[in-house]
Amino acid sequence: MSSLQATLGDCTVVPAVAGAWPLAQQLALKLNCPSVRRAVDASSSVVLFVDHDDLWLQQQALEQVSPVRVDFASPGLQHRRRSGQNELLGRAVGVKGGERPSVLDATAGLGRDAYVLADLGCAVTLIERSDVLALMLQHALERASISAISSVQLAASRMRLQLGDSRDYKPTQETVIYLDPMFTDRRSSAAVKKDLSVLQALHGNVDNEDEQLLAWATAQPVRRVVVKRSIKSPPLDGRKPSHTIKGKAVRFDVYVL
């Protein structure tokens, strides 16, 4: 992972157990954010809990909801794999027969879509500008690389992480750019809303950012750009896609360049 300093949101590092306090301080220094011994003393809306072999985000106001982790071996992701929910995303990026495009996931987030693509056999470059999320992704990739589940290990070997703003990246090997920007409209699942809510609390939304990302992506030397949208949302920046692949709650707008 590059040592680039990315944007940092409102986050405090807290040890999950008393013995993890030195580790919490060390990570806070690395992330350039505060650390406190107890979550109740944190003034930020989001807390990063650290244990010796785990880390997770918790939104302070939403303590009743479960924490947000990056875990590629999680039952949720493994279910998504078995239930065939991967197919739409695979089709959108151009997985067909023996074809496995190399994908630049320019909005890596919690790495779930990137994992799905890697599991389908695509080489995936993940770019995430939040250093907190990049740290969680790096940790998850390290764990996945020694997972007891061989498919998780294999998928992790196809994923490469970089911290930074995608718009500073020049794709050379990737033939597809995938965007799942931070849109504020609704997605149906409560779990997805909870995860997005933590990401938004960490980084907020800047006006026209998603549109700028699409403009950057379509100017790159790739064959297609795929944008994930909520099923009822208009196309990003009002730009009509070449075609669309629809699921129940989300759709993928495909721009063939």
Ligand X SMILES: C[S@@+](CC[C@H](N)C(=O)[O-])C[C@H]1O[C@@H](n2cnc3c(N)ncnc32)[C@H](O)[C@@H]1O
Interface with ligand X (CB under 6 A): 106-107, 109-113, 127-130, 133, 165-167, 180-182, 196, 199, 203, 213
Nearer Cβ to ligand X (110/156): 110
Nearer Cβ to ligand X (60/74): 74
Nearer Cβ to ligand X (171/181): 181
- State in angstroms the smallest separation of the CB of 199 from ligand X: 5
- State in angstroms the smallest separation of the CB of 70 from ligand X: 8
Q: Which of 191, 129, 198, 134 is nearest to 161 (CA)?
A: 134
- State in angstroms the smallest separation of the CB of 243 from ligand X: 20
Residue tagged 């470059």 (tokens): 125
Residue nearest to ligand X (CB): 109
- State in angstroms the smallest separation of the CB of 238 from ligand X: 19
Nearer Cβ to ligand X (167/223): 167
Specify the DSSP element, H or E, that contains 196.
Answer: helix 190-203
Nearer Cβ to ligand X (196/245): 196
Distance between CA 47 and CA 218 in Å, rounded?
36
Give Cα 257 to chain centroid, integer Å: 24
- State in angstroms the smallest separation of the CB of 71 from ligand X: 12
Give Cα 134 to chain centroid, integer Å: 9
Sign (positive or negative) of CA dihedral 46, 138, 123, 218: positive
Specify the DSSP element, H or E, that contains 105.
Answer: strand 103-105
